[in-house]
Structure 1
Amino acid sequence: MPHRYKVREIAQQAGLSEATVDRVLNDRPGVRENTRAEVAQAIADLDKQRAQLRLNGRRFLLDVVMQTPQRFSDAFRAAVEAELPAFAPAMLRARFHLWESGSTERMADGLARIRGSHGVILKAQDAPEVVEAVDRLVGAGVPVVTYATDVPTSARCGYVGIDNHGAGVTAAYLMSQWLGTAPSGVLITLSGTVFRGEGEREVGFRTALRGSGRDIVEVSDSDGIDDVNERLVLDALERHPGVEAVYSAGGGNTATVAAFDRIGRACRVFIAHDLDADNRRLLRDGRISVVLHNDLRADARLAMRLILQSHGALPPEPVRPAPIQVVTPYNLPG
């Protein structure tokens, strides 16, 4: 059967005879499984070599656009910058457009101002204005990859991040295990209701706790900013004296801990997301119980790969949700 490589090329790469490779490619009997595996590996290696040749000397300028607390944008920026050299011999550069709070109009305007880009990595609100801005970029030949929270009705070429609904279910499972028979209510903190990812976490969490009889109290629209979040959490705790546990689907966890301290209430269980600098410190100090995390460098690498794939510079690969890591003080990565 026809193949993208000549039989001779595959045979040279695999160190096998051309006759053997021909039998494997045509799925003839009498070939050992390890020989078939050697041929498959040789083809994969040839794909990588071809990709390297396509990348040689090419230059790509990427834009990272995010509305998110600085502690998270700092961590993701470091991840992107660490992964840029991994795409050599291509030369990748990144521009960063980062802010902590703002309207969907600001996000749409920020996207409209992008010029000369080969691709955008985007963490934004799922709103019609954002969808239109993404579609305009894609229509102009600029692929967009959404990160951490999706804009699924847009023309974006892919989403990178965890399964947010699954993360919420995981948080509910851990919460139930730790609280046991304690009648504690649970506080859910969200940075904003317009971010689909956080909303999916909340839905997963609430669904998994349905029927538990626990009081679930929501605090949202803080943009993950500490002073705003502390005020909102303090008000919720004063109105709900039975709340003794937290699921932070968004951020602002230093402020949430501070609010518990201000009213002198112990927090039995505190589940958070992302190993930013604040959460590392809180985890080490025993102020939060566990962090649901994913490898930001792996996320950055995949997002950049999807953009290069859109330009035909790399062969396509399947995209899967990033695995969720359950991080405690005892398995905290360096």
Structure 2
Amino acid sequence: MPVQVPKNQRISSSSGASGTTAEKATYDIDLLYRTAYASNIATTGAWNLVYFQATDGSIKLARWYGNWSITTIVPAGKALYHTPLASTQWGPQDTFRLYYLSPDFLLREWAWDTANGADHKYDGDLNASNVKVAPYSKLSVISFKGPELRVYYQSTDNKIQEQTYNPTNGWQKGATLPGTPLAGTNLAFVNRNDYNADAPSIRGYFQTSTGGLAEQVWEVGGWGIGDFAVASAPFLTPITATVSNLQNFPKIFVYWLDVQNLVIQQTNWHGWSGAAAVDTVSVVDGFISATSFARDTDNVDVRVYGTGILNILAEKIFRGGVWETTIGTVPVGTEVTLDVVGA
């Protein structure tokens, strides 16, 4: 007996107009359903990193460098089941940090240093701080010169809180951000400035307690609320953002899901564009993650990762100024092929 899946949720669109023609779909047993994702891409586009949680609770890294390889980086039992994830990279693409939650809702850091041919993976210094977050908190992170780090989470008073790091002072509690976020809102923060700039230019996207989407802004001088505003969005909609330079000016890409679980895009490059769906293929209402790089002065490529129907790590690719019609998939473990039907 085939599984029923709406036609607009299938990776393939080869069914007949009636939706009754059987087609094949993949169910990935090892991918935790509605897992969080975090992702990074090389500034040249040569490789991609996608972090996700497996069904056993471990956190895995999918790395593309000509083909996909899968590595377990946080063993089962160390991370909260359905933990949020946030990642960043710096240096000449050789230093990486991943943030997640422990089962008792403490901020945790996984570090990977590869400079000069090293392959050093270890628990980061943040772990010693035992920062407690709200049980429903999501995570985001930015990095800049130093390296300096800013991790964002939701505290038990529902405020968005910042944890800061610099090499001199280590990890410290940072600012409490403005706004009235929805409890459990997704968080998506980006740094508009080049990594080597002395100070960041931070933008953060979140859902408000009234259901809209809003922007937090940091420039030298402090925090404020920005111009980005979406009047209403689905409750606890997934949100992600990425930024890359286009013609030497930062272009921000913000993504969230609409009521049909289509990925909606809105961009800022000398002003905000209108919102529009990137394609007609829905993803699972869970988490999405975006990353980007400047292919050349006039083109930015984007990757958006999420869970596709039935349960597969799906990759939507924006390349050469258009969204590719074929949805990519990342094999992460044991797969079962099922027949699917449905209008």
Q: Could you say which structure has the larger radius of gyration?
A: 1
Tell me which protein shows more helix as a share of its residues: 1
Tell me which protein shows more strand as a share of its residues: 2
Report the TM-score, using the length of structure 1 for normalisation.
0.29
- Greater relative contact order (Cα 8 A, min sep 6): structure 1 or 2? 2
Report the TM-score, using the length of structure 2 for normalisation.
0.28
